Amino acid sequence: MAFIAYVPADDLAPDERVPDPDHIIQVHAVNPAVMRRHYELYRALMYGPGPLSRREREVLGVRVSGLNDCPY
Task: Give pLDDT tens digits for 4-40.
Answer: 777 888 888 888 888 887 777 778 888 888 888 989 9
pLDDT on residue 31: 87
Asked whether residue 1 carries a pLDDT value surpassing 70, the answer given is no
C-alpha atoms less than 13 angstroms from C-alpha of 8 in its C-beta half-sphere? 2
The span from the CA of 11 to the CA of 64, in Å, is 32
Q: What integer pLDDT is reported at residue 44 of this predicted model? A: 94
Distance CA 3, CA 12 (A): 20
